Structures are given as C-alpha cells and as structure tokens.
Amino acid sequence: MTTKLGRIGVWTSIRQWPTDPDQVAEAARALEANGYGALWLGSAPGDLALPAAVLDATERLVVATGIVDIWTNPAPAVAVAHHRLVERHPDRFLLGLGSSHAVLVEATGESYVKPLSRLRHFLDELDAADPPVPADQRVLAALGPKALDLAAERSAGAHPYLVTPEYTAQARERLGTGPLLATEQKVVVTTDAAEARRVARRALAIYMELPNYLRNLRRLGFEDADFADGGSDRIVDTLVAWGDVDTVRARVQEQLDAGADHVALQVLWSGDPAALPLPAWQEVATALT
C-alpha cells in the first residue's frame, strides 16, 4: 500500500465535504486531477459511505480514513463495509483506525479506559471477522511508543497526526524500515505572518486542549505556555508550515527526509474552514505534484 499512496496526499475532515453527491464527485475528480496520490478522511464513520463515493468518482486516487473511531463503530460492521469497498476498488482503500480522545468518546456515553487495549481488541475482532480485514489493509493513528509498536505489529503502519519532522524521525526509528509511516502536515500558503498564524491558530485551537496531543508535544519539548491562547508563535510555526509554495515544499521534504513514506497535507486557508479549500489544493499541487 505504501507505493499506492504516492508521496503526497491531502488530509481533510469529513465535515468539510458537501452532502450533494455531484459536488462530492466533482471535488474528488479535481483532487485526482491535481496529482495527489491519496485522500485522508478524518472522523470517518464506519459505514465508509464517503470513501466509497470518492472512489466511485475517481480512477487512481487512494482513499484512507484518518480515522475511524474504534469506540463508536462496531468492528464487525466496519469489516463488512471494508470488504464491500475493496471488492469494488481493489488496492485503493486503506482503513485508518484510532482510539480518538477521552472528551470526545465520553460525550457519546462510552468510558475511555485503556485505549490501547481497546484498540488491540478491535484489531482482534477485525482478524476474526468473516471476511477479515487483512493487516496490510489497515493503519493505526499512533503517537506514543507503545502505539507505534502496535502499528508495526498489527497493521501496515502508522498515521501520526499533528507532528513535526523531529517526531517523524523518532517514529521511523521506532517503527523500523518496513512499516508505512504516513505523516499528517498542516500548511498555509501565505507570506503574511499575521494572517498565516491566525488561520493556523483557528485550526490548532481544539488540539491545544486534547491530552493525547499535548503529551506528545511535551515529549517534543513544548511547555504549558506554548499551549495557551491558541498556541505560541513557536508551536504554531513548528506545527504549521506557512509561507510561499517553496516553504511548503521544503517542509514536505523535511518530513520525507525524516523518514515519512507519505505526507498527508492538511491545507488550511483563509476561506470558510468548514468547506473544502479547492483553490488552495490546486496552488499547492502546482508546487508539489
């Protein structure tokens, strides 16, 4: 699956996608035409309806979930949806799974206890499903060392989110040379520092309150002061590559040089954050693909 993804993809929240099927198809075809190798869909329901619609509308684009939440999506149902999808589109879908965050999970009435054990159990259920979800057709959202180990042992590899090239190098060392490392990277194409940081903070705000990410960022040397008021300039500039397209290209290369097999770009823009940044996708693609 590593080679199928290509080197550069796009990450979006599923909430940014339109509900109209024709608009979904149009956006998917535009993404493929721009030359991106893969589309990662954040917060994807386990029915895999949107991945199916995107794959139906395209010919080469690989679609991955980034992620399907293991607490709210029963493994047997996910396995059925996965099988249905890969039958129609062989070698073009990667099932990304993760344990989400306590505040989000507990809002659904679940108890967020031993998330790594829960993830391991979910994988056991996928293995036991009829038909099963093969390990090389799934990837895990992993940040900490134990999660990376599980990704290497029980899946095609890891899809870390909100990370730096320094983290990527550490993750590659932990995973070893074989497993996939598909790293998410936020970018803003503007040379206006104030505007770039405004757009970046708008996207980062939610993550500055989620313990899973904060623990990982602390391991990278950030402190409480960096998380206050939407994030310090230091953390914003480290997590979000902003500037002209050459700056974006340089950050992508940093991630690849650090050991990423694939970089999933979350392209932030000054427009409506709830909508797909179609013009920005094209602008970034001109430089990267």
- Specify the pLDDT at position 159: 98
Q: Where are the alpha helices (DSSP H) in the chain?
A: 2-5, 21-33, 49-57, 75-88, 102-106, 115-128, 145-154, 165-175, 193-204, 211-219, 224-227, 233-239, 245-257, 278-288
Does 3 score more than 70 pLDDT? Answer: no
Instruction: State the pLDDT at residue 102.
Output: 78
pLDDT at 85: 98
The pTM score is 0.97
- With beta carbons less than 8 A apart as the criterion, state whether 250 and 185 touch: no
Dist CA 160 CA 147 (whole Å): 10
Q: Please give the mean pLDDT across all residues of the chain.
A: 96
Give the whole-number percent of the chain exceeding pLDDT 70: 99
Other Cβ atoms closer than 10 A to 218? 13
Assign 180 to helix, strand or coil.
strand
The pLDDT of residue 288 is: 85
Confidence of residue 172 (pLDDT cuts 50, 70, 90): very high
Coil/strand/helix, residue 187: strand
CB atoms within 10 A of CB 198: 15
**Band of pLDDT at residue 27, cut at 50, 70 and 90:** very high
Average pLDDT (56-83) is 97
CA 78 to chain centre: 18
pLDDT at 2 over 60: no
Q: How confident is the model at residue 242 (pLDDT cuts 50, 70, 90)?
A: very high
- Mean pLDDT confidence for 17-35: 97
* Residue 108, pLDDT score: 84
pLDDT digits (tens, 9 = 90+) for 220-241: 999 999 999 989 999 999 999 9
Q: Do 26 and 276 meet the contact criterion of CB atoms below 8 Å apart?
A: no
Half-sphere exposure of 173 (CA within 13 A, CB side): 9
Strand-pairing partners, residue 180, are 157
Higher pLDDT: 267 or 104? It is 267
Name which of 219, 190, 9, 199 is nearest 96 in CA terms: 9
Separation of alpha carbons 159 and 152, rounded Å: 11
- Return phi, psi of residue 27, to 5°: -65, -40
Q: What b/e sequence results for 150-171 when a residue is b if at least 16 CB atoms lie within 10 Å of its CB, and e otherwise?
A: bbbebbbbbbbbbbbbebbbbb
